[in-house]
Structure 1
Amino acid sequence: MIELQDVCIRASDVSKRVLLDQVNMTLQPGEITLLLGCTGSGKTTLLQSIAGLKPPDSGDVKLAGESMWVQGKVPGSMLLQTGLVFQFPEQQLFARNIKREFLYSLRPYHLNKAEQELQVEETLAHWDPPQGDNSERRFQLHKSPFALSGGEKRRLGLALGQVTKPDWLLLDEPSAGLEKQSVALLLKSLHGHRVAGGGAVIATHDLDTFLPHADRVLLLKQGRLVADMTPLELHNEPERLVQAGIGLPPSMRLAEQLRAAGVQINSPTITPEEMAESIMRAAKERTSTSSNGECDKGTVALAKGTSSGLSTAVNSKADAHVSLEPAPAFNDVDITSPTLSSPSDLKSMMDPRLKWTLYVLLVTAAMLQHQWGGLTLTLMPVVGALALLPRQMLMGCIKLMKPLLIFFLLSTALSGSTLTTGEGGFQWGFSLTQAEGTLLNLYRLFIVTLASLWFSLTTPYGRMVEGLNWVLAYGRKIRLPVASFALAVSLIFRFIPLLWGEWQRFSLIVRARGKVALKPNSVRIRDLGPMVIPLLMALFQRAEDMTIAMEMRKVRENNAFGARSSLLSWSRRDTRIGILGLLVFAVLVSLRHL
Structure 2
Amino acid sequence: MIELNNICIRASDESKRILLDDISLTLNRGEITLLLGCTGSGKTTLLQTIAGLRPPDSGDIRLAGESMWRNGRVPKSMLLQAGLVFQFPEQQLFARNIRRELLYSLRPYRLNEAEQQQQIAETLAHWDPDRGEGKERRFQLDSSPFALSGGEKRRLGLALGTVTQPNWLLLDEPSAGLEAQSGRLLLDALLDHREAGGGAVIAAHDLDTFLPHADRVLLLRLGRVAADLTPQQLHNQPKLLMQAGIGLPPSMQLAEQLRGAGINFISTAMTPEDMAEAIISSQSCGEERTFVPAEVEDVNKPDADHDSEKNKNKDKDTITTEIDRSLLSGPANAASTTSFGDVPLPLVSDPALQARKDSKHKSSNESVMDPRLKWVLYMLLVTAAMLQQHWGGLTLTLIPVTIALGVLPRQKLMGCIKLMKPLLLFFVLSTLLSGSTLTTGEAGFQLGFSLTQAEGTILNLYRLFIVTLASLWFSLTTPYGRMVEGLNWVLSYGQKIRLPITSFALAVSLIFRFIPLLWSEWQRFSLIVRARGKAALKPNSVRIRDLGPMVIPLLMALFQRAEDMTIAMEMRKVRENAAFGVRSSLLAWSRRDTRIGIMGLFVFALLVSVRWWGSR
Please, what TM-score do these two structures have when normalized by structure 2? 0.86
Unpaired runs of at least 5, structure 2: 293-359
Deviation at 1:357, TM superposition (A): 0.7
**Per the alignment, in what secondary structure is the counterpart of residue 15 of structure 2?**
coil
- Select which of 421, 426, 437 maps to 1:407: 426
Name the CA distance, whole Å, in 1 between partners of 2:410 and 2:42.
Answer: 21
Partner of 2:571: 552
Contact 2:101 2:160 in 1 (8 A): yes
Partner of 2:305: none
Contact 1:235 1:268 in 2 (8 A): yes
Deviates more, 1:469-478 or 1:29-38: 469-478
What letter is aligned with 1:413?
L
What letter is aligned with 1:211?
L
- Select which of 541, 544, 566 maps to 1:525: 544
Is 1:579 the equivalent of 2:598? yes
Contact 1:95 1:145 in 2 (8 A): yes
Name the CA distance, whole Å, in 1 between partners of 2:461 and 2:587.
Answer: 34
Deviation at 1:425, TM superposition (A): 4.2
What letter is aligned with 1:400?
L
**Per the alignment, in what secondary structure is the counterpart of residue 349 of structure 1?**
coil
**Per the alignment, in what secondary structure is the counterpart of residue 434 of structure 1?**
helix
Encode CA deviations 1:459-489: one digit per residue, 9 max, x unaligned: 1111101111111122111100000100110
Contact 1:3 1:26 in 2 (8 A): yes
Deviation at 1:575, TM superposition (A): 1.0
Deviation at 1:200, TM superposition (A): 0.2
Encode CA deviations 1:496-552: one digit per residue, 9 max, x unaligned: 001000000000000000001000000000000000000011111111122222222
Is 1:433 the equivalent of 2:452? yes
Is 1:238 the equivalent of 2:257? no
Is 1:464 the equivalent of 2:464? no
Deviates more, 1:279-288 or 1:568-577: 279-288
Within 5 A, what are the aligned runs for 1:104-503?
Answer: 104-284=104-284, 288-290=288-290, 344-345=363-364, 349-422=368-441, 425-503=444-522
Name the CA distance, whole Å, in 1 between partners of 2:365 and 2:597.
Answer: 14
Deviation at 1:30, TM superposition (A): 0.3
Name the CA distance, whole Å, in 2 between partners of 1:279 and 1:507.
Answer: 51
What letter is aligned with 1:88?
F
**Per the alignment, in what secondary structure is the counterpart of residue 382 of structure 1?**
helix
Name the CA distance, whole Å, in 2 between partners of 1:261 and 1:144.
Answer: 56
Encode CA deviations 1:134-170: one digit per residue, 9 max, x unaligned: 2521000000000000000000000000000000000
Name the CA distance, whole Å, in 2 between partners of 1:342 and 1:511.
Answer: 34
**Per the alignment, in what secondary structure is the counterpart of residue 288 of structure 1?**
coil
Query: What is the count of residue pairs matched by the alignment?
Result: 546
**Per the alignment, in what secondary structure is the counterpart of residue 99 of structure 1?**
helix
Encode CA deviations 1:67-106: one digit per residue, 9 max, x unaligned: 0000000000000000000000000000000000000000
Deviation at 1:231, TM superposition (A): 0.5
**Per the alignment, in what secondary structure is the counterpart of residue 591 of structure 1?**
helix
**Per the alignment, in what secondary structure is the counterpart of residue 377 of structure 2?**
helix
Distance 1:375 1:538, change over 3 A: same
Contact 2:19 2:41 in 1 (8 A): yes
Deviation at 1:424, TM superposition (A): 5.3
**Per the alignment, in what secondary structure is the counterpart of residue 54 of structure 1?**
coil
Name the CA distance, whole Å, in 2 between partners of 1:424 and 1:109.
Answer: 53
Name the CA distance, whole Å, in 2 between partners of 1:390 and 1:408.
Answer: 27
**Per the alignment, in what secondary structure is the counterpart of residue 575 of structure 2?**
coil
**Per the alignment, in what secondary structure is the counterpart of residue 504 of structure 1?**
helix
Contact 1:35 1:203 in 2 (8 A): yes
What letter is aligned with 2:276?
A
Contact 1:218 1:229 in 2 (8 A): yes
Contact 2:251 2:269 in 1 (8 A): no
**Per the alignment, in what secondary structure is the counterpart of residue 176 of structure 2?**
coil
**Per the alignment, in what secondary structure is the counterpart of residue 288 of structure 2?**
helix
Deviation at 1:191, TM superposition (A): 0.3
**Per the alignment, in what secondary structure is the counterpart of residue 21 of structure 1?**
strand
Name the CA distance, whole Å, in 2 between partners of 1:201 and 1:124.
Answer: 23
Contact 1:347 1:458 in 2 (8 A): no
What letter is aligned with 1:587?
L
What letter is aligned with 1:273?
E
Using CA pairs under 8 Å that are at least 6 residues apart, name the structure with larger relative contact order, 1 or 2. 1
Contact 2:5 2:23 in 1 (8 A): yes
Deviation at 1:493, TM superposition (A): 0.2
Deviation at 1:245, TM superposition (A): 2.0
Contact 2:8 2:58 in 1 (8 A): yes
Encode CA deviations 1:261-286: one digit per residue, 9 max, x unaligned: 23332122212222112333444566
Name the CA distance, whole Å, in 2 between partners of 1:386 and 1:457.
Answer: 10
Name the CA distance, whole Å, in 1 between partners of 2:141 and 2:535.
Answer: 26
Structure (1 or 2) with the larger CA radius of gyration: 2
Within 5 A, what are the aligned runs for 1:73-92?
Answer: 73-92=73-92
What letter is aligned with 1:261?
A
Deviation at 1:57, TM superposition (A): 0.5
Contact 1:31 1:199 in 2 (8 A): yes
Contact 1:32 1:213 in 2 (8 A): yes
Contact 2:93 2:553 in 1 (8 A): yes
Name the CA distance, whole Å, in 2 between partners of 1:253 and 1:586.
Answer: 70
Deviation at 1:64, TM superposition (A): 0.3
Contact 1:263 1:279 in 2 (8 A): no
Deviation at 1:560, TM superposition (A): 3.1
Name the CA distance, whole Å, in 2 between partners of 1:96 and 1:482.
Answer: 44
Name the CA distance, whole Å, in 1 between partners of 2:2 and 2:212.
Answer: 23
Name the CA distance, whole Å, in 2 between partners of 1:58 and 1:200.
Answer: 25
Encode CA deviations 1:279-323: one digit per residue, 9 max, x unaligned: 33444566633499xxxxxxxxxxxxxxxxxxxxxxxxxxxxxxx
Contact 1:263 1:283 in 2 (8 A): no
Name the CA distance, whole Å, in 2 between partners of 1:4 and 1:347.
Answer: 37
Deviation at 1:589, TM superposition (A): 1.5
Contact 1:348 1:459 in 2 (8 A): no
Name the CA distance, whole Å, in 2 between partners of 1:513 and 1:350.
Answer: 41
Is 1:42 the equivalent of 2:42? yes
Partner of 2:354: none
**Per the alignment, in what secondary structure is the counterpart of residue 118 of structure 1?**
helix
**Per the alignment, in what secondary structure is the counterpart of residue 419 of structure 2?**
helix
